[in-house]
Amino acid sequence: MYMAKVHPFKHKSARVLRQRRAALLRQLAVPPQAIRASVVERFGTCGKASCSCHRGAKHGPYYYLIQCVAVGHLRKFLLKGPRALDTARTAVSAFNTFYDGVEELSQINAELLRRGDPLPGE
């Protein structure tokens, strides 16, 4: 499970937090290739009883892109070839980097709100 990084903002001044928020807002842009998913490596066995995969040397690796779209609803498909694997890893990384920035922004806004500072747009 992916958990957000906790940013230690309690001992920073409101001015420093507002400056960091402004910097994040300048940097944050949704990457067009972003995919909220995971790339998973799998090894498997085949249906041939005499195959060595049943004695330890499994077939693979096979790489899948797995996306949870709702509770109990997964989308999963095989990434065919190194190019698809690289593209998927780049897209997942782009989303995670963007999400980390949004999470930091959220924590800054929550801390400023806790201190009674107005949030942008109020």
**Helix, strand or coil, per DSSP, at residue 71:** coil
Q: Give tens-digit pLDDT for 48-97.
A: 999 999 888 899 999 999 999 888 899 999 999 999 999 999 999 999 99
Distance CA 6, CA 23 (A): 18
Under a CB-based contact definition with an 8 Å cutoff, are residues 92 and 35 in contact?
yes
Please report which confidence band the pLDDT of residue 42 belongs to, taking 50, 70 and 90 as the band edges: very high
What percentage of the chain has pLDDT greater than the value 70? 97
Among 65, 73, 95, CA closest to 2: 95
User: Counting Cβ atoms within 10 Å, is residue 65 exposed (0-12), middle (13-18) or buried (19+)?
Assistant: buried
Mean pLDDT of 8-31: 89
